[in-house]
Structures are given as structure tokens and as C-alpha cells.
Amino acid sequence: MNRPEELIKKIYEEQGHIQDVFFAACGGSLVDLYPGYYFINAESETMHSHWLTAKELIVSPSKFLKKGALVILCSHGGNTNETVTAAKLAKERGAAIITMTHNPDSICAQEDMNPVVYSWEDDTDEKDRPQGIVMRVLNELMKMQEPSYTKYEAVLDGLKKADRIVRAALKKVQNRTWVFAEKYFNEPFLYIMGSGASYSQAYGFSICSLQEMQWMDCCYLHSGEYFHGPFECTDEDHLYILLMGTGAAREMDERALTFLEKYGKKYDVIDAVELGINEIDESVNEYFCPMLFYAMSVAYRTGLQDKRRHPLDMRRYMGVVEY
């Protein structure tokens, strides 16, 4: 398997200066790429960052998709048509690509795709899952390209600590997730809010864990956008899950919580600080909150599965009918 650090060094030697980094995938794989997009947007002085579903990259390719661009793609099964097509288009236009997949026999795992094949077991370390792999790639890229970059060691330290923090947090919330499922398993609708790098997990919690895996009606919201329309739906009957991250964006989550405490009644707060994320240096820990929140979404959906008697792998349409 290609090591992410060695792969980006090889690409940098071949490609030279990277001007644009694209993150393209579908569904849950797209969710995993958002923290990397956010990281480059926040930290880089020389690169522009783009995050979009793979199909959009195909039907409306950016003028920046050319030599000097790096496209990072992910497909868990490795054969997602849109992701494979996007990878081939990027190569045709002169961009460098990195693909991530769990399937070593897939198209995305072919050597000309610059693949990183990752494990997806219960004991797989966070640094070896897609979100961790992306951070490893980008941390090396920033070190090579930007002499002023000062967070390299802090990110490395975060990658070492993340898995232990996530596993400790899962033990801490086990009872809480059962209580949540007991209280809200029959809820007709709920909202999930987050901001910053963790907005990705509000999105993923909604579309993957609840809509896809539980057929539950829900909506994902950005905590900052909550006050520009959606908060009008807040009352004692609507259920909210608030993902509270760290970094500069946290003030948006705190403002949303203050409003919910005053005008709402049914809400559940998942706070990365309470769950130990501050063991990672505060200059970078916001980029690791999504790892923590993904694990929380798995714990919550597992509790709902048991209470609702709705298996997580049950589908009506996905892989069942033509679409």
C-alpha cells in the first residue's frame, strides 16, 4: 500500500508547486474530505481549496482543474462511477490525483490512480482512516510547499492522540446514546447542527446515519446559518443535535446553544471539549473534531437501530433498484 506521506512527496516532485486542491467524492466519502478542505482554506497561503460532489466536478469542471492541481478522491468500495470518472477527468486535464479506497481489487486501487488502500475494522487507528489519511497528506504538503507553516508537529501529535481520544469518548457516551434512543426513537423529524470543520459531520450524521441507514427525516444546519431562517422552527416540540467543535467557529455553536436553552426543550449536545479533544494542541484540534463526531454518529445510530429494530444495512433503493 502507498504510504500517504511518500505518495504526496512523489507527486510534489513530479508536479511541482500545487496551486489548487480539489476534494471530490460522494456520500459518506465526501463527508470525510471536508475537514481537509477546511484545513487548506484556513491554513494555506499558497493553495486554493475546493470541495464538491464528484458528479459536479464532471459536469461543471473548474478552470483550475489542470496541471498544478491536486485532486483527492475517496470511494469506500472503489468503483463508484462518479468518483472513478472524476479521477479520470482530472488526470486528462493534467492534475495529479490521490484516491482512497477500502477495496484493494477496485478501480480506485489501480496503481495509476495513486491509491491509498485503507483498513476499515473496529480497531483501525484514526490516522489510518480516510480523515486521518487526508490530514497526513496535507500536513506533508504544507511542510514541503510553505516555509512559514508552523503546525506540522502539532498535527503529527494530534494524529497520534486522536484514536485514544475517540475510543475513550465512545465509552463515555455509551449510556447517553441508549437514553437518547429510548427518548427519541420515534421522533418524526430532527435537526443536526455544526460549524467549522465539523459542519461535515452534521451533514454526514444526517444524510448517512439517519436518512440512509434509519430512513429518518432530518435536516443538517450550519450553526451560523441557524439564525438566518431555520431558528424560526425552534420550539418545545422540535429535536436538535448540536455538535460543538473547537477553534474560532465554536462561538457559532455556543450562540446556537444559548438560543436552544432559552427557546427549545428537546436538544442533545455533543461537545468535543467535554469528550477530550483539548488533549490535542488548541492550534489544530478543530481539525480532529470531525473524527470524534463521526464516532459519535455511529454510536447514536447504533442505539437507534436497536430501539427502532431497523438494521443499519437495510436499503429500499441503494443497490436495489436502478437510479
Q: Which of 140, 142, 193, 204 is nearest to 8 (CA)?
A: 140
- Answer whether residue 1 shows pLDDT above 80: no
Same domain, 9 and 138: yes
In a domain, 314, yes or no: no
In a domain, 255, yes or no: yes
* pLDDT at residue number 94: 97
Rg of the Cα atoms in the chain? 20
Q: How many domains does the chain have?
A: 2
At 214, is the pLDDT very low, low, confident or very high (cuts 50, 70, 90)?
Answer: very high
In a domain, 181, yes or no: yes
Cα distance between residue 132 and residue 292, in whole Å? 12
Q: Which of 200, 268, 218, 240 is nearest to 34 (CA)?
A: 200
Range of the domain at 230: 173-308
* 83, burial (CB in 10 Å: exposed 0-12, middle 13-18, buried 19+): buried
* pLDDT at residue number 133: 98
Cα distance between residue 253 and residue 249, in whole Å? 7
At 66, is the pLDDT very low, low, confident or very high (cuts 50, 70, 90)?
Answer: very high
Mean pLDDT of 79-106: 98
* pLDDT at residue number 2: 86
pTM of the model: 0.96
In a domain, 41, yes or no: yes
Residues 6+ apart with CB under 8 A from 105: 78
Same domain, 137 and 11: yes
